[in-house]
Structure 1
Amino acid sequence: MKKTVKQMVAAANEKIETLTTADAIALHGQEEVTFVDIRDVRELEREGQVPGAVHAPRGMLEFWVDPESPYHRDVFASGKKLIFFCAAGWRSALATATVKEMGLDNVAHIDGGFGAWRDQGGPVEERAAKKA
């Protein structure tokens, strides 16, 4: 194996902005900021979600970011600061580095992810049931 996951996450963290949980909580609700939850839908259903966060499953992220993709989502071209998070901060570090390589500059991720957010008193709500 040429690189371990820990090495990849460490390399990503050297290239990106990492927010403390307290700093992220302070930014929550600001109009020019969008939180992006890359966790699997089952994690959201089991653990809850950050109110107002956009859910962008990690497996679709690059397709949703790329304006030339048929799956592009306008939220990624909004010009707002995008703050990515996952459960613990590893996936979001990799995701943030990836979207930065794709040309998004105003991006960051939360150190410790959703777990740290919840443990430090960040707002959490249950995931609303999807209508069929």
Structure 2
Amino acid sequence: MKPGETGVKKLKMSSAEMVTRAKERIEEIGTEEGIRLFEDPDVVFVDIRDVRERQKLGFIPGSIHCPRGMLEFWVDPESPYFKDVFAEDKKFVFHCASGWRSALSVSTLNDMGFEAAHLKDGFNDWAKQGGPVEQSP
């Protein structure tokens, strides 16, 4: 069933609209720029995809894997789950497969006071454009 059909309640805001709104207020990095930033030691790429996506499709070499469900807790110094990497004075660039999850994530992080950017078109475009990809052993 689709929204509006019997039994399916239409939401106040669709996921697509949430992504659009998030992208209007965050820093987006295009794939070409991201590939240029790859060699910068002051940039940390953070992969929020599911571990199975990383294992199947590969990942940006040196990227930090942070499961989407733990993101807010890992960046919050007051959380018992805080990860020291997020205290480093570096530029953090988050990504998912296509840029939707990372847009929502970075919007939330910015609301928390954690400055970050995201790969606008995600890992899929990174790999398609020839960005470095490492495969899981």
TM-score by length of 2: 0.91
Query: Which residue in the other structure is 1:53 paired with?
Result: 63
Shift of 1:127: 2.0
Choose which of 73, 82, 105 in structure 2 pairs with 1:63: 73
Out of 82, 85, 93, the position equivalent to 2:95 is: 85
User: 4+ residue stretches of structure 1 with deviation over 3 A?
Assistant: none
Shift of 1:37: 0.2
Structure 1 residue 23 displacement after superposition: 0.3
Equivalenced residue count is 127
| 3-state SS in 1 of match to 2:78 | coil
Asked whether 1:23 is paired with 2:33, we answer yes
Q: How far apart in 1 are the matches of 2:97 and 2:49? A: 7
- 2:3 corresponds in structure 1 to none
The answer as to 2:131 corresponding to 1:122 is yes
Residue among 109, 122, 131 paired with 2:118: 109
Q: Which has the larger radius of gyration?
A: 2
Q: Equivalent residue of 1:84, what SS?
A: strand
Deviation (angstroms), 1:29? 2.2
**CA distance in 1: counterparts of 2:13 and 2:85, whole angstroms:** 32
Q: Which amino acid aligns with 1:42?
A: R
Q: Which amino acid aligns with 2:106?
A: T
Aligned to 2:104: 94
2:52 to 17, 42, 56: 42
Paired position in structure 1 for 2:8: none
Task: Supply the distance in 1 between the matched residues of 2:28 and 2:119 (Cα, whole angstroms).
Answer: 6
Query: In angstroms, what is the RMSD of aligned CA positions?
Result: 0.7
Q: Which runs of 5+ in 2 are unaligned?
A: 1-10
